[in-house]
Amino acid sequence: MHTPPGVTIDTPVNLREVGRLRVLEALHATPRSSRPELVRVTGLSRATVSSLVADLIAVGLVTEEEPDTDDPEPRRTGRPAQSLSLVPTAGYAIGADIGHQHVRVNLCDLFGTVLWEHWVAKDVDRAPEETLDLVAVLVGRALQETGVARARVLGIGAGIASPVEKGSGELGAEGIMPGWVGLHITEELQRRTALPVRVTNDANAGALAELMYGAGRQVGDMVYVRLSAGIGAGIVSNGQLLLGARGLAGEIGHLPLITDGLICRCGNRGCLETVASPVAIARLLTQSWGRQVAARDLPALIRQRNTGALRAVRDAGDAVGRALSTLVTLLNPRLIVVGGDLAGAGEDLLEPLRAGVRRHTLPSAARGVEIVTGGLGDGAEVRGAAGLVLAGAPHLLSTTPPGEAA
């Protein structure tokens, strides 16, 4: 049939596919459910839910378990509802955390359980090709050592220590990761691994991990701040990552803090990163003590209660608190989660950080925010990178049966 100019015909909606997606989304959000609960959550009829569940069990996406006969509060009437859940091994996701000085790769099942993980020290900033080759090698090792078929991997999520342009995936790496300028990491990793790839900034990956699996669960308004060689923030608003017009929201490491401070690698002067990163703290101690101190030495110095190192960390905490006070005033989060290498300093960092927020923030906003260390440690960014893929798992599984190429 000829369609007249200017007239469009919408593709008919496949209601069964829509229903299948709703059921998968419900089971992804709640690891254990039942048919009556799925009817309530999805709004589908009982007959439709029963039919869809039967199909999903048949293709290996959903498993059904008999009710617990030892339940201390058994149902008074009727047959107990059977428990339904996604099959954890129906799909997998790979996470890659690409920092300034390391690469970490993991393999997770549908629920985000880490099945394999490996960390490699690497000077990343000026070696993009070598770094991406290393990621591809680690992906291959993960699959080989776990016996997971590549066809069951839904994709790779990559968190990288650089601003990432929303849409294009291009890195805003000028001055930050000099060798990566103009590189399209999505295409490069897809070519090396033959898997779909999603890329985000490492702080956004950390925020997603803490939201899905860590300290931020059930918290809709949260800021995750990563204090490592680079400093950045992932912002969650109403349960969603806040990326900004170009995907560059949360670059607090490059907020100017000291008017006549050091030149930052971004080209500006006195950025937070020049005074509060582990690298900046180590540089300050080197200058003060007249001997070389590296960022990797800081955890031991803090454990030893070295007074100079503790003072430097507390000063850094105060500086981070001042920077975060701006976000607290503008965004009014309920929770701030502190991660990255410096988070290991614990209360020596958090107490002055909290004080800095209180001192520079509207009192009512400061009283309403809780500040804690992350629940996932140094694995947050790589968990969140895999979470980029897993967040879309219901859609991917609804269109691609297990075992077929994604």
The pTM of this model reads: 0.86
C-alpha span between 189 and 197 (Å, rounded): 7
153-160 vs 197-201, strand pairing mode: parallel
Helices (H) and strands (E) in the chain, counts: 14, 12
pLDDT tens sequence for the chain (406 residues): 444 444 444 444 467 788 899 999 999 988 789 999 999 999 999 999 999 999 999 999 999 986 655 555 555 555 567 899 999 999 999 999 999 889 999 999 999 999 999 999 999 988 999 999 999 999 999 999 999 999 999 999 999 988 888 877 788 767 788 888 888 899 999 999 999 999 999 999 999 999 999 999 989 899 999 999 889 999 999 989 999 888 888 989 999 988 889 998 888 899 999 999 999 999 999 999 999 999 999 999 999 999 999 999 999 999 999 999 999 999 999 999 999 999 999 999 999 999 999 999 988 888 889 999 999 998 999 999 999 999 999 999 988 656 554 4
Q: How many residues does the chain have?
A: 406
- Can you give the pLDDT at residue 149? 95
Buried b (16+ CB within 10 A) or exposed e, 174-187: eebbeebeebebbe
- For residue 368, CA distances in Å to 194, 292, 354 come to 46, 42, 12
- In the chain, the N- to C-terminal Cα span, in Å, equals 33
The encoded tokens of residue 325 equal: 């006070």
Containing H/E element for 350?
A: helix 347-360
- Can you give the pLDDT at residue 97? 96
Sequence-ordered alpha helix ranges (H) in 43-184: 46-58, 128-146
C-alpha span between 314 and 310 (Å, rounded): 6
C-alpha span between 228 and 292 (Å, rounded): 19
The encoded tokens of residue 142 equal: 């993960």
CA angle 180, 186, 192 (to 5 degrees): 95
C-alpha span between 174 and 37 (Å, rounded): 51
Residue in the block written with tokens 């149902």: 75
C-alpha span between 171 and 197 (Å, rounded): 15
CA angle 31, 37, 38 (to 5 degrees): 80
C-alpha span between 349 and 338 (Å, rounded): 10
In DSSP terms, which residues pair with 107 in a beta bridge? 94, 116
C-alpha span between 302 and 344 (Å, rounded): 9
Would you state the torsion angle of the CA atoms of residues 124, 125, 128, 130, taken in this order, to the nearest 10 degrees? -30
**3-state SS assignment for residue 106:** strand
C-alpha span between 145 and 105 (Å, rounded): 13
Q: Tell me the helix, strand and coil percentages in the chain, rounded to 5.
A: 45, 20, 35
